[in-house]
């Protein structure tokens, strides 16, 4: 096992930190990505995701490639590709299937294929395994084995890095389980949890984010209620939080590649086996509606301030799915923009982390420089990036006209520092 030749398929937020860590413990590790541009920037020591610092990239022995033939000779393939949903919120397994087809062309007897992507129970063995069989002509369980080790990366988190998060691992038999555990155990300082089956490991991962989604949905629903009651949600949560067992979740927009997506994988599988989830989907409906709600709240505040809504000059701070990361995947801020447009408002949008070309390609949105945020009728802090929170309060409020209104989606600002028309979720 010490002679394992490892290939990590997909060098995004999940794959790159893992590949770098593995390369520090194993002599032959290949980082593979289908995008040549991604390979070139990594070879130049630049990571656009900002998950791995330039010095560590330059010092790493990790080999990079976008050429599938370089996968030949590898003995363990770790697949870390996205698992999105389509426009109907149905699981889209296309990236996993395509990655499996690529791996299948180079699969040999004795090899192991490990999947890290978040899926519903059964995908690894019932969908990916047959694809590998079809392309390779080999048989799973006999000629090659499957493993599963769900990713737990938290984008932008410099404390809970890949090495410091307990790793769940599973394999099709005891030998494969130990082989997978050995590889991950070489880099995961926090420890290894051996799940009894691949399906158990798949289920464990998908419910991690489902649980968070539901807890945030409860906070969002409470925020909707408290707004009608004229109570600030943050004040309520701070009071309730003085009890030792109160969970510290906050309301907000739920986007990204995990929390806003993974519950749909579980509910899809549940419906296939004859159970129609109610609690999980109810939480999804609440969270998916929050972008429209905060946009409508801004409109109501404009009306209350006697500011004409149609054509109002509104600025939106933040576009990425969470603070202090450049990741635009499944951002819910475009929901806010779409709702404002329904009222005849074309907002200015600023984000210090987002790539302007990607914002235009993914959402058709144009980013605006911060100096243009002047004489605004309305300003919304949609994503609480550090750069916004560190702005002097007079500079922030100086973006507004005298009657302008400020909406703070994450309740990240102090109301006492913001005289005038201020509202927080």
133-160 b/e with 16+ CB inside 10 Å = b?
bebbebebeebbbbbbbbbbbbbbeeee
Please, are residues 337 and 401 in contact by the beta-carbon 8 Å criterion? no
Q: Structure tokens of 49? A: 């995701």
For helices 290-304 and 279-288, angle between their N-to-C axes, nearest 10 degrees: 40
For 50: left if phi > 0, alpha if psi spans -120 to 50, otherwise beta; the answer is left
Is 258 part of the annotated catalytic residue set? Answer: yes
Query: Which DSSP string corresponds to 127-144?
Result: IIHHHHHHHH---BTTTB
What distance in Å separates the CA atoms of residue 425 and residue 417, rounded to the nearest whole number? 17
Q: Which two tokens stand for residue 243?
A: 């009890």
φ, ψ for residue 149, nearest 5 deg = -145, 95
Quote the CA–CA distance of 384 and 18 in Å, as a whole number.
28
Q: Which residues are CB-neighbours of 319 under 8 A, at least 6 positions away?
A: 328, 331, 333, 334, 349, 350, 351, 354, 359, 363, 365, 367, 382, 383
What is the Cα–Cα distance from 267 to 66, expressed in whole angstroms? Answer: 35
183, 223, 258, 280: the catalytic one is 258
Rounded to whole angstroms, how far apart are CA atoms 150 and 201? 7
Residues assigned a catalytic role = 258
């Amino acid at each position: 096992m010490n002679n394992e030749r490892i290939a990590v398929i997909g060098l995004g937020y999940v794959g790159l930190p893992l590949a770098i860590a593995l390369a520090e413990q194993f002599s032959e590790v290949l980082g593979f990505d289908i995008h040549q541009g991604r390979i070139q920037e990594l070879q130049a020591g630049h990571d656009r995701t900002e998950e791995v610092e330039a010095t560590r990239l330059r010092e790493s022995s990790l080999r990079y490639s976008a050429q599938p033939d370089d996968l030949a000779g590898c003995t363990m393939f770790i697949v870390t590709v996205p698992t999105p949903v389509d426009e109907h919120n149905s699981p889209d397994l296309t990236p996993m299937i395509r990655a499996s087809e690529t791996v299948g062309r180079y699969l040999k007897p004795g090899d192991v294929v490990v999947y890290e992507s978040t899926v519903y129970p059964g995908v690894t063995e019932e969908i990916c395994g047959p694809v590998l069989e079809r392309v390779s002509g080999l048989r799973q369980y006999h000629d090659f084995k499957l493993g599963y080790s769900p990713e737990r990366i938290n984008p932008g988190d410099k404390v809970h890095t890949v090495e410091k998060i307990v790793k769940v691992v599973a394999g099709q038999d005891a030998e494969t389980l130990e082989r997978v555990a050995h590889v991950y155990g070489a880099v995961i300082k926090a420890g290894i949890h051996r799940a009894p089956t691949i399906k158990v490991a798949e289920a464990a991962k998908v419910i991690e984010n489902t649980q968070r989604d539901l807890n945030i949905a409860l906070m969002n629903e409470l925020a909707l209620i408290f707004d009608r009651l004229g109570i600030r949600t943050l004040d309520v949560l701070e009071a309730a939080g003085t009890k030792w067992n109160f969970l510290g979740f906050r309301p907000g927009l739920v986007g990204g590649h995990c929390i806003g997506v993974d519950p749909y994988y579980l509910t899809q599988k549940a419906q296939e086996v004859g159970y129609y989830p109610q609690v999980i989907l109810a939480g999804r409906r609440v969270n998916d509606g929050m972008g429209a709600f905060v946009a409508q709240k801004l409109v109501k505040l404009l009306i209350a301030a006697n500011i004409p809504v149609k054509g109002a000059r509104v600025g939106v701070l933040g576009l990425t799915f969470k603070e202090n990361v450049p990741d635009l995947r499944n951002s819910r801020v475009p929901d806010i923009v779409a709702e404002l447009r329904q009222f005849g408002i074309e907002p200015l949008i600023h984000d210090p982390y987002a790539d302007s070309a990607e914002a235009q390609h993914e959402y058709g949105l144009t980013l605006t420089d911060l100096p243009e945020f002047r004489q605004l009728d309305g300003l919304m802090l949609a994503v609480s990036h550090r750069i916004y929170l560190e702005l002097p309060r007079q500079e922030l409020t100086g973006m507004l006209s005298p009657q302008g209104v400020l909406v703070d989606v994450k309740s990240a600002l102090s109301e006492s520092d913001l005289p005038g028309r201020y509202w927080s979720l």
